[in-house]
């Protein structure tokens, strides 16, 4: 056995030393190249219900840091996004799904209640940490109960990586978030849609663009 050890040692050692150096060099250069210019972007969010008038009728919406729609996340491909989210709702859990983000290596940050994580309880804080690896226009939204319909959503805009060029030219950029808006509370909507017999909640009263819409206020008494 002793002889076998020295036999292998003779053939493995000189080669493996060189291989190891090359391997370490390759790993380091990949690491340096992939992290070059990429940043970690931190956000601190508080989710809560608040009074708001998306059209001319005041109601309750779900907002983030007092904003509806929620704050826009901007970054570059390769950046790491860190969202420290505190649930300030009194009686509901909350999660945020990052729609279109692939979550490679971070499935626990996908934000689907009871699938990739437990809902964040009232008063609790959860930290989402994930990489945005591809340029594009995405959005995030609540993925618990009716919270997206209540207004828990916003944009995620990922520019091409630092130092990279876009494949086409354009003169400007407009970010449009379109959504339906009902004057009935999401709780009433939820009870209607899940009741037996089923109760249709009707068409939305307003189409919101970036959280704002126009409604004929003279019709308010009828809805």
Residues at the contact surface with Cu ion, assessed by CB under 5 A: 99
DSSP readout, 120-184?
Answer: BPTT-EEEEEEEE-S-EEEEEEE-STTTTTTT-EEEEEEEPPTT---SS--S------EEEE-SS
- Residue 50's nearest CA partner among 119, 139, 151, 124 is 151
The least distance separating Cu ion from the CB of residue 12, rounded to whole angstroms, comes to 51
Closer to Cu ion by Cβ: residue 41 or 99 = 99
The least distance separating Cu ion from the CB of residue 116, rounded to whole angstroms, comes to 13
Q: Map tokens 């979550």 to a residue.
A: 103
The least distance separating Cu ion from the CB of residue 141, rounded to whole angstroms, comes to 6
The least distance separating Cu ion from the CB of residue 85, rounded to whole angstroms, comes to 16
* Tokens standing for residue 131: 């990489």
Closer to Cu ion by Cβ: residue 89 or 152 = 152
Closer to Cu ion by Cβ: residue 119 or 161 = 119
Residues 6+ apart with CB under 8 A from 16: none
Closer to Cu ion by Cβ: residue 40 or 114 = 114
Cβ-proximal residue to Cu ion, closest one: 99
């Amino acid at each position: 056995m002793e002889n076998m050890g020295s036999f292998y040692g003779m053939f493995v050692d000189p080669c493996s030393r060189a291989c190891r150096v090359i391997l370490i060099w390759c790993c380091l250069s990949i690491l340096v190249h992939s992290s070059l210019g990429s940043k970690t972007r931190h956000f601190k969010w508080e989710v809560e219900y608040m009074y708001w008038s998306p059209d001319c009728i005041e109601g309750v919406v779900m907002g983030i840091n007092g904003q509806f729609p929620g704050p826009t996340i901007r970054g570059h491909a390769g950046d790491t996004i860190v969202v420290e989210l505190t649930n300030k709702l009194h009686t509901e859990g909350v999660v945020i799904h990052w729609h279109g983000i692939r979550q490679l290596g971070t499935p626990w940050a996908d934000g689907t209640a009871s699938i990739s994580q437990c809902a964040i309880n009232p008063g609790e804080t959860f930290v989402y940490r994930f990489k945005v690896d591809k340029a594009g226009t995405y959005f995030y939204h609540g993925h618990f109960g009716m919270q997206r319909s209540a207004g828990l959503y916003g944009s995620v805009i990922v520019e091409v990586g630092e130092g990279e060029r876009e494949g086409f030219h354009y003169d400007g950029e407009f970010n449009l978030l379109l959504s339906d808006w009902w004057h009935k509370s999401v709780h009433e909507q939820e009870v209607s849609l899940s009741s037996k017999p089923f109760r249709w909640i009707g068409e939305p009263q307003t189409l919101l663009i970036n959280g704002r819409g126009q409604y004929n206020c003279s019709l308010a008494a009828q809805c």
